[in-house]
């Protein structure tokens, strides 16, 4: 009898202290500034929360995520939890593959469109297995970086060009919409057709060279990520002009290179902070595993305008997330998470 009780205790202990497995299908490249920061922050969270985290990089090929998911299903190697991103509208296909599979899903960074959200909300399987969504306000940061750049230039008149990411990814479309909303309200600006740089520095460089020749009165270049800003900056320098003086440049993402350019004034506006999404997502998964009920959407203001010589700026430069008490994050009455550092 005592032996049976001991075996039951061992079994229950194993259940309680089992390490939940999480797979994050990262749509980017491990060498990209933003996605590398996403990984580092998530790995710090996983270590602190004692979660078994595996990261797969699709390298900007959304079909790679789908193939990897198919392989996990075929080999019956699905984890306890998946963190998925709707990169280039790939999420509906992934959810279709996962239909009736007993794996929990957390949606990060790029959400489903409203019609599809309503559809999945009526699906009994996904009512149980989509545990929440954690999506930053891309419209807001698009608008705010556009506004900050314009103000930094003293509201000078001139031409404006937007180098957006791609035509399909929700984050790209929303950032672009926010920036356009601000620019179209300024009567002294001439807004040119939007260009799509596909998030790449080399592509943005070639596009910016062409744009600078086509629009000699160009005064502002708004970019959707830092790699594209680096390409635009190189093109500005190639024609003998100075970013932050002759032509104003803005971007999103807080790579060390972007932070340095912001400090130097070559980037007139910079936004970031959404690289924390996967780390915060792991805390939500941790809470769900512990039995907490999660809301369908979690509000977390990840984006900020980055200003040199602030505490946030110094934290971004240090890139040391070991002091974050992920396990102390709880949802408040407004479904918000708050950041706490261990001293």
What pLDDT shows up at residue 322? 81
Structure confidence at residue 335 as a pLDDT band (50, 70, 90): low
What pLDDT shows up at residue 3? 46
Q: Do domains 19-136+275-328 and 138-272 have the same CATH topology?
A: yes
Structure confidence at residue 190 as a pLDDT band (50, 70, 90): very high
Structure confidence at residue 319 as a pLDDT band (50, 70, 90): confident
Q: What's 152-198 look like in SS3?
A: HCCCCCEEEEEEECCCCCHHHHHHHHHHHHHHHCCCCEEECCCEECC
On whether the CB atoms of residues 141 and 178 are closer than 8 A, the answer is yes
- Kindly report, residue by residue over 34-71, the tens digit of the pLDDT: 999 999 999 999 999 999 999 999 998 989 999 999 99
CA dist list (Å): 150 to 80, 140, 193: 47, 15, 18
What pLDDT shows up at residue 62? 87
On whether the CB atoms of residues 275 and 34 are closer than 8 A, the answer is yes
Strands 189-191 and 218-223 turn out to be: unpaired
In a 3-state reduction of DSSP, which class is residue 40? helix
Distance between CA atoms of 183 and 162, rounded to whole angstroms?
10
Distance between CA atoms of 80 and 24, rounded to whole angstroms?
11
Note the pTM of the prediction, 2 decimals. 0.88
Structure confidence at residue 145 as a pLDDT band (50, 70, 90): very high
Taking the CA atoms of residue 128, residue 129, residue 134 and residue 137 in that order, the dihedral angle to the nearest 10 degrees is: -80
- Kindly report, residue by residue over 218-257, the tens digit of the pLDDT: 999 999 999 999 999 999 999 999 999 999 999 999 999 9
Residues β-bridged to residue 56: 25
Query: Cβ–Cβ contacts within 10 Å for residue 257, how many?
Result: 16
Q: Which of 162, 128, 127 is nearest to 143 (CA)?
A: 162
- Hey, where are the domains in the chain? 19-136+275-328, 138-272
The CATH superfamily holding the domain 19-136+275-328 is Response regulator (3.40.50.2300)
On whether the CB atoms of residues 197 and 203 are closer than 8 A, the answer is yes
Residues β-bridged to residue 336: 299
What pLDDT shows up at residue 298? 85
Q: Is the dihedral of CA 303, 305, 311, 315 positive or negative?
A: positive
- The residue with greater pLDDT, 305 or 312, is 305
CA dist list (Å): 204 to 19, 92, 190, 209, 332: 43, 29, 20, 8, 42
CATH fold of the domain at 138-272:
Rossmann fold (3.40.50)
- Kindly report, residue by residue over 268-285, the tens digit of the pLDDT: 999 999 999 999 999 999
Distance between CA atoms of 97 and 109, rounded to whole angstroms?
20
pLDDT at 260 over 80: yes
Q: What value does the CA radius of gyration of the chain take, rounded to a whole number of Å? A: 22
On whether the CB atoms of residues 298 and 133 are closer than 8 A, the answer is yes
pLDDT at 168 over 60: yes
């Amino acid at each position: 009898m005592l032996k049976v009780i001991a075996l039951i205790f061992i079994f229950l202990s194993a259940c309680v202290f089992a390490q939940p497995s999480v797979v994050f299908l990262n749509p980017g490249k491990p060498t990209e500034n933003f996605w590398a920061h996403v990984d580092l922050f998530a790995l710090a969270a996983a270590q602190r929360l004692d979660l078994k985290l595996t990261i797969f990089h699709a390298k900007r090929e959304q079909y790679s995520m789908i193939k990897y998911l198919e392989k996990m299903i075929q080999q019956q190697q699905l984890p306890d939890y998946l963190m998925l991103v709707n990169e280039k509208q790939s999420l509906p296909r992934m959810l279709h593959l996962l239909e009736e599979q007993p794996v929990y899903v957390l949606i990060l960074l790029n959400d489903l469109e409203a019609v599809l959200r309503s559809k999945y909300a009526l699906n009994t399987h996904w009512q149980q297995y989509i545990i929440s969504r954690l999506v930053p306000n891309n419209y807001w940061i698009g608008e705010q970086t556009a506004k900050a750049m314009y103000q930094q230039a003293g509201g000078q008149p001139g031409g404006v060009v937007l180098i957006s990411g791609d035509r399909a990814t929700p984050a790209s479309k929303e950032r672009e919409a926010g920036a356009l909303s601000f620019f179209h309200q300024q009567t002294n600006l001439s807004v040119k057709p939007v260009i799509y740089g596909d998030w790449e520095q080399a592509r943005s460089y070639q596009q910016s060279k062409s744009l600078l020749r086509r629009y000699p009165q160009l005064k502002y270049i708004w970019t959707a990520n830092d790699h594209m800003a680096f390409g635009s900056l190189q093109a500005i320098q190639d024609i003998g002009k100075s970013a932050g003086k002759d032509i104003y440049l803005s971007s999103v993402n807080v790579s060390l290179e972007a932070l340095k350019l912001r400090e130097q004034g070559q980037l007139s506006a910079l936004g970031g902070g959404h690289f924390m999404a996967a780390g915060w997502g792991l805390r939500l998964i941790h809470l769900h595993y512990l039995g907490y009920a999660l809301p369908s959407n979690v509000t977390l203001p990840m984006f900020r305008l980055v200003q040199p010589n602030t505490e946030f700026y110094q934290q971004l430069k240090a890139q040391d997330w070991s002091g974050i008490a992920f396990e102390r994050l709880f949802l408040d009455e407004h479904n918000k998470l708050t950041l706490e550092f261990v001293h």
